[in-house]
Chains A and B, each alone.
Chain A
Amino acid sequence: MSTIELTKLIKRYGKVEAVKGIDLAIADGEFVVFVGPSGCGKSTTLRMIAGLEEISGGTLRIGDEVVNEREPKQRNIAMVFQNYAIYPHMTVRQNIGFGLYTSKLDKAEKNRRIEEAGRILGLEALLDRRPAALSGGQRQRAAIGRAMVRNPSAFLFDEPLSNLDAQLRSQMRIEIKRLHQRLKTTTVYVTHDQVEAMTMADRIVVMRDGHILQVGTPTELYESPVDMFTARFIGSPSMNLLPGSKCSIMASTATEGDILIGVRPHDLIARATATDEKTDLSLTGTVTAVEPLGPETLVHLDIDGTAIIATAKDKFVPAVGSTLTCTAARGSLYLFDAKTEKLLSRS
């Protein structure tokens, strides 16, 4: 177990800078998730931490040591890959035991650790099977087992759930989270799925174009995004953005230049009957589609050419084509500068 510290970390491929000098301190035992669209540098950063990519600039510390020039094996980290990287010619037991290949433990201790990992991951009955006989989720668990047996100082996950179907993914999400709570090993987890980031992370690192945009707890990022990108990336469905000119804002926000107004679909309520509740934002448009989810319904609206999503509560399902007014309560609006995309204020 140890801390990981990135200082002005840079990765260049020829003239292209994939990671443009990022700073981050990961605490001992913390679960940090790197999230961002593909090509944002999150995987490259992870691979630099692992030692699979050379570091072009800056320093990387694991524990108290600078490990820039250390081989992967000397860094005592374990990594789980998107395609599992478990060997088809070995049984699950051999695959898990492979993590201990270079360790100097005696055979009994190795076996004890393999059995223990198998028990924790629910693979006891499958230890003597080949990967071909396992499901995707079981293969990924075997890969996690191989990472676990070494007692590494940090776990690195590179989009480990991307190859799994939706149901397995949500199940494995919980399993990885439980595992972390149990082992309390520092974990760096890369994903492009904001749901994974929100549900698993102690802290989320939002990356874009080789930069870190924002670092914070899931709630912090959801409540106070620093810019439009983070605001739209975190939360599902994405935050609605409307040109300031289109809205009848009653708030007395004095702003210079163009602004964009952001409001989360869950804060934008479509009601069957009018309400006299104090609102900051009131929008009227045509219903283009509805997505009933049971307790609530997502309503897609067209507001003078801008597509937005609102929520209808209390089993109210509006008819497609009808005209509907939806309102957002005071305090749920985000005002962004249209040019810099930074958050200006909330109201």
Chain B
Amino acid sequence: MESDNLRGAAGGRPGGTAAAMPADRLSMRTKRLLWVWGFLAIPVLFYTVIRFYPTFQAFYLSMTNWDLVRPAKFVGFANYVKLFKDPQFWKVFRNTFTYLIIGTPLSLLIAFTVAFFLDRVRFMHNFIRALYFLPYLTTAAAMAWVWRWFYQPPPIGVINDVLALIGIPQQPFIRSTDQALFSIMVTAIWAGLGFQVIIFMAGLRAIPTTFYEAARIDGLGEWAILRKITLPLLKPTTVFLVVFSSIAFLRIFDQVYNMTTNDPGGPLGSTKPLVLMIYQTAFGSYAMGYAAAQTVVLFTILLIVSLLQLWILREKK
């Protein structure tokens, strides 16, 4: 196999040693194409079986009443009609968008601020950067349990202890229907921060220093340089992170599930995102058709939000 590959690769170039091979009758272009597609075949096949087929299958399933046991029966748009009439869906929908609309800008703002200043810190730079990145390497389950402990009432919960110290009454955090979603969002933002900081810093490093020097000579202050040079030149990085982090917040699941294990998505469904609802519908109620319909809705939302962001943030010619 290996020797085959070597021979073929050499044969694909002028002066190759494949003279006796029948492939020699093919033009160089055809040979290259054969090789390219030969290598591409494996991932293409893999994705077709593992990704694309189930995706299309989900579209079909969403039109059935499959429950894992009885054969699926086609029910048309009944699942969708049910979904849009389901008050729980709208609550979950609102939760998901709260994660998205508050979580994404907030996390990017924090990440940029950290990256902007960390970029100027020379003292223990790598160590600090590693500290920020560490949560990204930690499993959601471990993180969630640590944060659950943080959010406990005093004297166990660290945050409430600190609040008490400065004279603020104790807060219920994940036990309250008002605060639980934001408490979980904080954890999720913290978890993703390291990655965003690294990407922002790479973007900042890519801006030539002469741009800043030229601006200083032209008399711009720090704020003007940030607004007129840094942010516009950082736009490709920002677009990437906006789309990336939006998708992450729209698909939020593990943070919520692990922080509310006694009553996933609770209290009273106040933290439940769409993916958790899908999970419960599919593997709690075994309503696969209904769950598939929710998946299709999530897919559509992801698609629309991503395309919308790419369109809004596109490079204007």
**Which residues of B sit under 8 angstroms from A79, Cβ to Cβ?**
213-214, 217
- Give Cα A88 to B208, complex, Å: 11
The reply on B156 being an interface residue by CB < 8 A is no
* A89 and B216 in contact, given A83-B208, A83-B210, A101-B224 (Cβ under 8 angstroms): no
* A99 and B218 in contact, given A79-B213, A81-B213, A87-B229 (Cβ under 8 angstroms): yes
Within 85-114 of A, Cβ neighbours of B (below 8 Å) are at 85, 87-89, 98-99, 101-102
Q: Mark B195-212, 1 if CB is under 8 A from A, else 0.
A: 000000000000010110
Most-contacted residue by chain A among B219, B228, B232 (CB, 10 A)? B219
Question: Which residue of chain B is the closest to A74 with respect to CB atoms?
Answer: B219
**Which residues of A sit under 8 angstroms from B228, Cβ to Cβ?**
98, 101
- Give Cα A67 to B314, complex, Å: 44
* A77 and B233 in contact, given A83-B208, A87-B211 (Cβ under 8 angstroms): no
**Which residues of B sit under 8 angstroms from A71, Cβ to Cβ?**
216
> Which residues of chain A have a CB within 8 Å of any CB of chain B?
50-52, 71-73, 77-79, 81-83, 85, 87-89, 98-99, 101-102, 146, 150
- Give Cα A318 to B166, complex, Å: 94
Additional A-B contacts beyond A72-B219, A85-B211, A85-B213 (11; CB < 8 A):
A51-B217, A52-B213, A73-B218, A79-B214, A81-B210, A83-B208, A83-B210, A87-B233, A99-B218, A101-B228, A146-B218
Contact call A101/B218, Cβ cutoff below 8 A: yes
* A101 and B213 in contact, given A85-B208, A87-B229, A87-B233 (Cβ under 8 angstroms): no
Category for how many chain B residues contact A: 10 to 19
**Which residues of A sit under 8 angstroms from B224, Cβ to Cβ?**
101
Question: Which residue of chain B is the closest to A83 with respect to CB atoms?
Answer: B210
Contact call B216/A52, Cβ cutoff below 8 A: yes
The reply on B106 being an interface residue by CB < 8 A is no
Question: Which residue of chain A is the closest to B213 with respect to CB atoms?
Answer: A52
B239 to chain A, nearest CB (A): 13
- Give Cα A102 to B228, complex, Å: 12
Contact call B208/A73, Cβ cutoff below 8 A: no
**Which residues of A sit under 8 angstroms from B210, Cβ to Cβ?**
81-83, 85
30 contacts between A and B (CB under 8 A): A50-B213, A50-B217, A51-B216, A52-B216, A72-B213, A73-B219, A77-B217, A78-B217, A78-B218, A79-B213, A79-B214, A81-B214, A83-B210, A85-B210, A85-B211, A85-B214, A87-B211, A87-B229, A87-B232, A89-B232, A89-B235, A98-B215, A99-B218, A101-B218, A101-B219, A101-B220, A101-B224, A146-B214, A146-B218, A150-B218
